Structure 1
């Protein structure tokens, strides 16, 4: 495992964690999580790398070891897509695969649907149609968590989310700015995603709507179910194994 830093398109310092050798697989984490929390802690990076991949894991801005600027000018629309594109340019990647979980999946779909990135293969984890076309509803939940952070009592539906943000040490000023950069995705644009795609989701995960419906809307998708909820599926080895097996089968 090696960690590097680079400056994104606007000079924001972002962390990148790299593991393994072989074909580049750019892997993106979920909202208010990090590469360490989603991929490294549970060994998914090792499972995937064992199939002959270099797993390249970005910490989004405001997450993990990356910077969390407070300047509103650092938060244009779809800023995370621009950060991933900046990383691809920084590394000089031409032939690579791309994947992500939750926010990472959503960012990947936006990037490919809008023609910003052209990976050979795509992995979408923990994401359904509602998390794309109705993102504004889920974003409103997190805005409430940030705005009412110290007022949310135990037993409130958002209490667990508040505790997760606290455990991750999320900068709430920067996080609030980031939430306003994430537009809904016109589901008609899914037709633009022509590469082979794995849609993988926990069997109890309904946080972002139907992942199976999303797979049916994509031109060339395979749907795989693994055990767990939205939060627990990333903690089980099945997720990393499903990704590794699918990628190996596509080579």
Structure 2
């Protein structure tokens, strides 16, 4: 695949953040999910390579508290809606005014926040996300807080087991990611109403972690729903994820 380059930039609060990039052509920003990073969601399983081959400059930030980006422990670095603000600032830093934008899970929520704050991508991709995961974040938030509390005391069969094992495999900074979770701002109907651009809602057939993806597509004015194999955990490993995004972005 094309070489991956890594770049640093400073957010407005001085936090050192990173983005990874591959390919040339039309800019496409892809945002990873919670406890993950660009490597895990977009690079490892070939999605970035597929999209670079399709003619895109694939730009993949590591969210604050994730990946190669800084993981500050000061609550002041996690104001409400900070991920949406970081995304908007990165796009401004890169000088982009014509681009496509997508995310997986928390990355999709970050895309919604960014569009709610005024971002206007040509096309948008919301993957690994359902309507309830956006409009009813409190329930999902509570689940992850419980996972932190049970981090060293769960056994297989506990509903938090897989989330905790993933956190351990990713060596997450629990202080930083917990502060980040508390920073998540609410999503409202006004934010969803800003999605007038063609939008792909993409989700695993057995992924119900964030509610109904078809219901999310129905709630948007210009969206289509595509189903791929997998659960919330395994759908990002499917070649069909990158294929579906490439097809959506290149269709007439």
Compute the TM-score of the two structures, normalised by the length of structure 2: 0.96
Q: 2:127 maps to what in 1?
A: 125
Instruction: Tell me how far 1:176 sits from its aligned partner.
Output: 1.0
Query: What per-residue deviation string (whole Å, max 9, x for no partner) do you get for residues 186-233 of structure 1?
Result: 135312211111111111111111111111111111111111111111
SS at match of 1:185: coil
Q: 2:196 maps to what in 1?
A: 194
Instruction: Tell me how far 1:152 sits from its aligned partner.
Output: 2.0
Residues 9 and 82 in structure 1, CA contact (< 8 A), matched pair in contact too: no
Q: Distance in 2 between matches of 1:183 and 1:115?
A: 12
Structure 1 residue 101 and structure 2 residue 99: aligned? no
Query: What per-residue deviation string (whole Å, max 9, x for no partner) do you get for residues 155-178 of structure 1?
Result: 311111111101101100111111
Q: Number of aligned pairs?
A: 249
Q: Distance in 2 between matches of 1:116 and 1:221?
A: 19
Q: Distance in 2 between matches of 1:15 and 1:229?
A: 28
Q: Which runs of 5+ in 1 are unaligned?
A: none
Structure 1 residue 54 and structure 2 residue 57: aligned? yes
Structure 1 residue 221 and structure 2 residue 229: aligned? no
Residues 209 and 232 in structure 2, CA contact (< 8 A), matched pair in contact too: yes
Q: Which runs of 5+ in 2 are unaligned?
A: none
SS at match of 2:221: coil
Instruction: Tell me how far 1:144 sits from its aligned partner.
Output: 1.2
Q: 1:45 maps to what in 2?
A: 48
Q: 1:171 maps to what in 2?
A: 173
Query: What per-residue deviation string (whole Å, max 9, x for no partner) do you get for residues 32-85 of structure 1?
Result: 100000010000001111111000000001111111000110000011001111
Instruction: Tell me how far 1:183 sits from its aligned partner.
Output: 2.5
Residues 125 and 199 in structure 1, CA contact (< 8 A), matched pair in contact too: yes
Cα-Cα RMSD: 1.0
Q: Distance in 1 between matches of 2:146 and 2:179?
A: 13
Q: 2:164 maps to what in 1?
A: 162
Q: Distance in 1 between matches of 2:59 and 2:147?
A: 30
Compute the TM-score of the two structures, normalised by the length of structure 1: 0.97
Runs of 4 or more above 4 Å deviation: none
Q: Distance in 2 between matches of 1:208 and 1:96?
A: 26
Q: 2:214 maps to what in 1?
A: 212
Q: Distance in 2 between matches of 1:13 and 1:188?
A: 31
Q: 1:64 maps to what in 2?
A: 67
- After TM superposition, the structure 1 stretch with the greater mean CA deviation from structure 2, 187-196 or 72-81, is 187-196
Q: 1:24 maps to what in 2?
A: 27
